[in-house]
Amino acid sequence: MKAIIAAAGTGGHINPGIAIANKIKEKEKNSEIIFIGTDRGLENDLVPRAGYELKRIDAHGIERKLNIQNFKNLYATFKSIGEAKEILTRFKPDVVIGMGGYICVPVVIAAKKLNIPVVLHESNAFPGIAVRLFKNKADKILVGFEDAKKRLENKENVVVTGNPIRIKKLELSKEEKIKIIESVGLKSDKPVVLAFGGSQGAQSINRSLLEIIVNKKNKDYQIIWAAGPNQYEDIKIKLKEVNMDIDNLEKVKILPYIYNMEEMMNACDLVVSRSGAMTITEISVVGKPAIFIPFPFATENHQEYNAKVLENVGAAKIILNKDLNSESLGKTISKLISNKKELEQMGKNTSKVVRKNVEDTIYKEIKETIKDK
């Protein structure tokens, strides 16, 4: 198979694209795959690191307001259709796979002009503008959640496959869990809350957690907290101002970044995080109860829709960003941690939204799309 994957901007678009590419390579070792992105997003790090070639075009997202920069971006994106068309003409792919976002617009338009089959993947519960724009033109749209299919009017070309992710459920023994928790200097005698706000951290979550720690409100639980590389040093300084050492906190371990997230997520008792599509999917697969604080500025407020997927099946609690503070977060954590039966049931409820064999299903749908053409 020869495939072009359009993925740009954030890990939420790029990592699922890489997972799909890896599955194609696993199934067809002689397959040829290239990515199309821009020169600005995380694709410039993640795609080459994964071993794939990245071609760049000058596409841009468009803001919903009138200004000179917006017109410039619109013009550049329109011009990038020609750039995409040139890449597709030279490579001659069997299929173009779009992972959502603005990069899909010029690439899909170019593919349709050249009569190349198009498969789109939408990871969020509320489909983005690009996917909604091409819902009638794409040969197939693969979605992560049932809610997304409903919002695409249950069209025949929409298939619920789930989201491809790297984190899996581990069947850890009690001893293995203890070893993971103790590896960061915590003890195994109290429940563990795993908190993070994405790869760069989340200021509002960090602010609330800091107050909980400074006021020692986590007497009944421990915290493993990925603060984000940029915010870690600020938190270190703020703790020092109240005579607290970031490396010697009682029942708390603060890290810039968690590299063994799969182990930590499997070993913890409760997750506190934003609600990006990949995070929602990972938490569901691992089977953990969660408290979600949706990012309020996400396009189409899609993080709140994502969080509701798990809230609706009794697997998560939601605190809106405007209502988030140390008191609201602390009370919600304490209430859940004190009720072990509720926590366990919330974890089990995640199974109601989990899809199995996601990558295999996606590969099958791509193959069928090519065959139908």
Angstrom distance (rounded) from CA 271 to CA 369: 38
- CB-CB contact of 83 with 58 (8 Å): yes
Res 215: pLDDT: 95
- pLDDT value at position 235? 95
Residue type at position 193: V
**pLDDT score at 200:** 57
pLDDT < 70 stretches in the chain: 64-65, 198-201, 373
Give the DSSP H/E element, type plus range, for residue 333.
helix 326-337
Closest CA to 215 of 199, 239, 236, 198: 239
Contacts (Cβ under 8 Å, ≥6 apart) of 142: 119, 120, 121, 122, 158, 159, 160, 161, 362, 365
pLDDT score for 64 = 64
Q: What domains appear along the chain, each with residue ranges and CATH number?
A: 2-162+356-372 (3.40.50.2000), 174-352 (3.40.50.2000)
List Cβ neighbours of 326 (8 Å cut-off, separation of 6 or more): 207, 208, 209, 210, 211, 212, 215, 217
DSSP string, 39-107: SSSTHHHHHHHTT-EEEE-------SS--HHHHHHHHHHHHHHHHHHHHHHHH--SEEEE-SSTTHHHH
Quote the crossing angle between the two packed helices 229-241 and 203-214, to the nearest 10°. Answer: 30
Full-model pTM: 0.88
Position 349 scores a pLDDT of 98
How many whole angstroms separate alpha carbon 329 and alpha carbon 315?
17
Query: Residue 199: its pLDDT value, please?
Result: 56
Residue-level pLDDT at 314? 98
- pLDDT for 202: 82
